[in-house]
């Protein structure tokens, strides 16, 4: 819940942002069109998305040990998504070594978040669709546990490892071709293999976490690096619920929201002296429906792994100038949190575990009439555990159905 003092602070900020948007140039025109998810509070709707392609490119496959990175270049393949419900899709993912050997494979769950327009360094407009993704991967024939390439918890035969992140699909409005980017992250034991919270408890890799990020090409290299997160009042956002079944609902627009820095550390293993890859962030979201959504990250005590929302720095795409492919020079974090949801659109109140990403930078992001708050600083998260009663572990460890999506811009 956002406190009264914060409301007094954010009120003028939100008003100033709104006035700035009114004075801005004409809204961007999406070349494919809007997604049909904006409108009155929480009413049934259909979704408008283009057919999405498969993609394949080189990725930076990084293990972070004591918050220091070591990277191997691999190839990642993602199949074309198949719709399952309103904004929910399934596809498959495979990671291959330089000889073509399969290292990791799994089914990919994709939950649609939002769309926007941006302009690349060649002056071409792109319409981007963001999906939050989750997968339980298995080791392939080329998996080598002695290399820093994928989670050591996959050593026992038949084991799975939970990875989460996002996929962005960008349609070039000039060439009518798609580009894509992806992040997949698997946390260290305190988060994903927590002995109290997980369906797959450790110990497995207490000091190490894993990130797969792409594309990683000579035209736009990805550099794993320690990057401090942004923390600020939100200029806008929205949230919506998924299902049940194929049901689809319009978004609830944000009234007030914020990220505030609590502190930084290396969580794997815990070290307050740095390097600072992990940041704890206060998180709050109040909506505009009646009654409004109230979404608040919970600061849980040990042995639970979360202190409100956790942002984990992964690195930066470093391409510059004409010819730089999507996503341009963008920074990215993996995010997870333990949250309370309530409001008209989310009956009854629930406790959720959320996963997603933060991104900053890239190409120039343009607001549009459907989401006028869009900026190049974005937070997108989706639930992977949601309980209204009988709130008992396991909370983490494997892919579960998504109930809620949150998108915010700062």
Residues 6+ apart with CB under 8 A from 208: 63, 64, 65, 148, 152, 188, 268
Task: Look at residue 303 in the predicted model and tell me its pLDDT.
Answer: 66
Residue 180 tokens, joined? 């894509």
**How many other C-beta atoms are found inside a 10 Å radius of the C-beta of residue 123?**
8
Separation of alpha carbons 246 and 385, rounded Å:
19
Closest CA to 47 of 33, 62, 58, 36: 36
Residue 191, CB-side half-sphere exposure with 13 Å CA sphere:
33
Question: Parallel, antiparallel, or unpaired: how do β-strands 309-317 and 350-361 relate?
Answer: unpaired
Closest CA to 399 of 335, 332, 353: 353
Question: pTM score, two decimals?
Answer: 0.92
Task: Look at residue 57 in the predicted model and tell me its pLDDT.
Answer: 98
Dihedral Cα 30, 36, 38, 40, nearest 10 deg: 150
Cβ distance 208 to 187 under 8 Å? no
Phi/psi for 14 (5° steps) reads -65, -40
Separation of alpha carbons 347 and 18, rounded Å:
30
Residues 6+ apart with CB under 8 A from 16: none
* Residue pointed to by tokens 């050593």: 155
Closest CA to 334 of 208, 180, 182: 182
Separation of alpha carbons 348 and 242, rounded Å:
14
Residue 323 tokens, joined? 């010819």
Phi/psi for 280 (5° steps) reads -95, 130
pLDDT in tens for each of the 410 residues of the chain? 444 333 333 343 333 333 333 333 345 679 999 999 999 999 999 999 999 999 999 999 999 999 999 999 999 999 999 999 999 999 999 999 999 999 999 999 999 999 999 999 999 999 999 999 999 999 999 999 888 878 999 999 899 999 999 999 999 999 999 999 999 999 999 999 999 999 999 999 999 999 999 999 999 999 999 999 999 999 999 999 998 888 899 999 999 999 999 999 999 999 999 899 999 999 999 999 999 999 999 987 766 789 999 999 999 999 999 999 999 999 999 999 999 999 988 889 999 999 999 999 999 999 999 999 999 999 999 999 999 999 899 999 999 999 999 999 99
* Residue pointed to by tokens 């989670």: 151
Separation of alpha carbons 179 and 319, rounded Å:
15
Task: Look at residue 304 in the predicted model and tell me its pLDDT.
Answer: 76
Task: Look at residue 302 in the predicted model and tell me its pLDDT.
Answer: 62
Query: Euclidean distance between the first and final Cα of the chain, in Å?
Result: 18
């Amino acid at each position: 819940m956002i406190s009264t003092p914060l409301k007094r602070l954010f009120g003028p900020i939100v008003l100033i942002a709104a006035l700035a948007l009114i004075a801005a140039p004409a809204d961007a025109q999406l070349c494919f069109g809007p997604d049909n998810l904006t409108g009155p509070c929480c009413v049934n709707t259909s979704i408008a998305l283009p057919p999405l392609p498969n993609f394949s490119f080189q990725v930076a496959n990084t293990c972070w040990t004591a918050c220091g990175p070591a990277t191997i270049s691999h190839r990642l393949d993602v199949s074309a998504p198949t719709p399952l419900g309103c904004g929910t899709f399934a596809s498959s993912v495979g990671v291959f070594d330089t000889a073509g050997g399969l290292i990791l494979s799994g089914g990919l769950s994709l939950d649609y978040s939002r769309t926007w327009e941006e302009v690349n360094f060649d002056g071409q407009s792109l319409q981007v669709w963001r999906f939050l993704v989750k997968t339980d991967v298995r080791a392939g024939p080329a998996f080598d546990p002695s290399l820093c390439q994928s989670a050591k918890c996959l050593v026992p035969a038949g084991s799975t490892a939970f990875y989460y992140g996002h996929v962005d699909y960008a349609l070039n409005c000039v060439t009518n071709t798609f580009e894509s980017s992806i992040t997949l992250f698997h946390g260290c034991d305190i988060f994903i293999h927590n002995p109290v919270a997980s369906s797959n408890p450790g110990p497995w890799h207490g000091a190490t976490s894993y990130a797969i990020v792409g594309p990683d090409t000579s035209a736009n290299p990805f550099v794993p690096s320690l990057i401090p997160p942004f923390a600020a009042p939100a200029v806008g956002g929205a949230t919506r619920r998924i299902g049940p079944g194929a049901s689809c609902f319009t978004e609830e627009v944000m009234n007030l929201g914020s990220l505030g820095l609590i502190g930084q550390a290396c969580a794997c293993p815990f070290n307050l002296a740095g390097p600072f890859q992990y940041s704890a962030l206060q998180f709050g979201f109040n909506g505009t429906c009646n009654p409004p959504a109230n979404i608040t990250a919970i600061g849980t005590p040990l042995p639970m792994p979360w202190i409100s929302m956790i942002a984990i720095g992964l690195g930066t795409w470093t391409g510059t100038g004409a010819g730089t492919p999507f996503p341009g020079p963008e920074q990215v974090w993996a995010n997870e949190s333990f949250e309370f949801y309530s409001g008209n659109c989310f009956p009854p109140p629930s406790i959720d575990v959320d996963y997603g990403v933060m991104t900053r930078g890239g190409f120039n992001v343009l607001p549009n009439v459907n989401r006028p708050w869009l900026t190049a600083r974005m937070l997108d998260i989706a639930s992977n555990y949601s309980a209204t009663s009988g709130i008992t572990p396991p909370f983490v460890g494997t892919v579960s159905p998504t109930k809620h999506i949150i998108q915010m811009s700062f």
